Structure 1
């Protein structure tokens, strides 16, 4: 029959709509409810297991019942743009960031924090070469692609524990996430100014450390002289850790 392919597509869409949201969308007529239930459990449990394994601290913070309900809502309402399970976590983080209400107000930031570790571990990028003996104040700098400065409203590195904060603190939480030469992903706390400094270096590679510190002072309405000594020390620390390097040394 001429309309068979379209009819099949209609049936498939109706079936998958039911699998996504069985509580709201009825199954197409003529299907065995027991067999349909097998597909429902299989698909949802696969997604729930994948996201729970990828975001274990989020599960603890939200609680398993609320987490399961959240994943169910995601499954029913979101249309994925990737067929790859390895990229599904990134879409889930973006979806969380767009939700008006979550089981815990820090959940979207915490999910991003948990996702970062996997994303950085899988990132196809090389560390910066050894910088040699240089003065980071005087040479054009770049930030390593394996070093990510992050700023959160919530202390994401402390959430999920029994004494986790229920309200965001007055000051944001700055973090540096980097992948070392041995492949290990490590986290360190930073001040907001340090996060902003690394962000500037990443956004405008080629400026010297002195220029970056001057720009930072202007943006934060500070006296540039007050940043020179502590800024030079911080840049040296970043240089030794491979977080930044001279732009001319890039391969």
Structure 2
């Protein structure tokens, strides 16, 4: 066995204890590496998804983390990106057990967004929509889910949220109306506020009158104060 093959076999055993031991390595010695590796990965995942963690008992959580370790070919070695790799596995390789909540994927994404914005190196532009402000829409009321609230059915209407990092580098959250969410998505895509507002008025059957634009201005002013959106520099 070449050195590279040996290293791959060693890594495979660490990820999946069912793999046979390598010749010359005792189970006790291997257990040290397996425990260290599992505890490190599990610690990063638990820290990134604290609400998700509370919804599982210890045996189910361990099975979930071990399945991720064994099955997911992570594309990045950086610890800060483990949460992104875990989310990618949930979206593509995760197999639910009978008692798993149906909202796992959306809750995990919602929790990941906070970490992603917290560590993002993106710069806030001098005008337009901030790259550190993400409008999000979920089937489940993810911002309310916890140990004492675990819905069995999604809401009739989507939960629309805005998550952003402010000027003090604090990640903040607000709930949006369907209209505000659609406006945020259009501004994020680079559309001008006037164009977006006229089109949304037509789409929602609203008169594009003084009252309509006064309300819209109040919303945009609020977003401007919070560093979410800046009007064009003339």
Q: TM-score band, normalised by the shorter chain?
A: 0.7 to 0.9
**C-alpha distance in 2 between matches for 1:63 and 1:31:** 33
Q: Which residue of 2 aligns with 1:56?
A: 50
Q: Which residue of 1 aligns with 2:199?
A: 215
Task: Tell which deviates more after alignment, 223-232 or 40-49.
Answer: 223-232
Does the CA contact (< 8 Å) of 2:165 and 2:171 recur in 1? yes
Q: Which residue of 1 aligns with 2:152?
A: 166
Does the CA contact (< 8 Å) of 1:61 and 1:159 recur in 2? no
Indicate the SS of the match to 1:148: strand
- What displacement does 1:73 show? 0.2
Indicate the SS of the match to 2:55: helix
Indicate the SS of the match to 2:207: helix
Indicate the SS of the match to 1:62: coil
Give a deviation string over 1:162-213, Cα, whole Å, max 9, x none: 12322211111111112121221111111122112111111124x2x22112
1:182 aligns with 2:164: no
2:66 aligned to 66, 72, 79, which one?
A: 72
Number of aligned pairs? Answer: 228
1:16 aligned to 6, 11, 19, which one?
A: 11
Compare relative contact order (CA 8 Å, sep 6+) and give the higher one, 1 or 2.
Answer: 1
Q: Which residue of 2 aligns with 1:137?
A: none
- From the superposition, tell whether residues 95 and 192 of structure 1 become closer, same or farther in structure 2 (CA, over 3 Å): farther
Indicate the SS of the match to 1:53: helix
Q: Which residue of 2 aligns with 1:136?
A: none
**C-alpha distance in 2 between matches for 1:126 and 1:39:** 40
**Structure 2 spans left out of the alignment, 5+ residues:** none
TM-score, structure 1 length as denominator?
Answer: 0.82
Does the CA contact (< 8 Å) of 2:134 and 2:164 recur in 1? yes
Indicate the SS of the match to 2:22: coil
- What displacement does 1:229 show? 4.8
* Higher Cα Rg, which structure: 1
Indicate the SS of the match to 2:174: strand
Structure 1 segments (4+ residues) deviating >4 Å:
226-229
Task: Tell which deviates more after alignment, 79-88 or 119-128.
Answer: 119-128
**Structure 1 spans left out of the alignment, 5+ residues:** 1-5, 130-140
Q: Which residue of 2 aligns with 1:199?
A: 185
- What displacement does 1:224 show? 4.4
Task: Tell which deviates more after alignment, 147-156 or 101-110.
Answer: 101-110
- What displacement does 1:100 show? 4.7
Query: How do 1:134-149 and structure 2 match up within 5 A?
Result: 142-149=128-135
Q: Which residue of 2 aligns with 1:97?
A: 91
Does the CA contact (< 8 Å) of 1:151 and 1:192 recur in 2? no
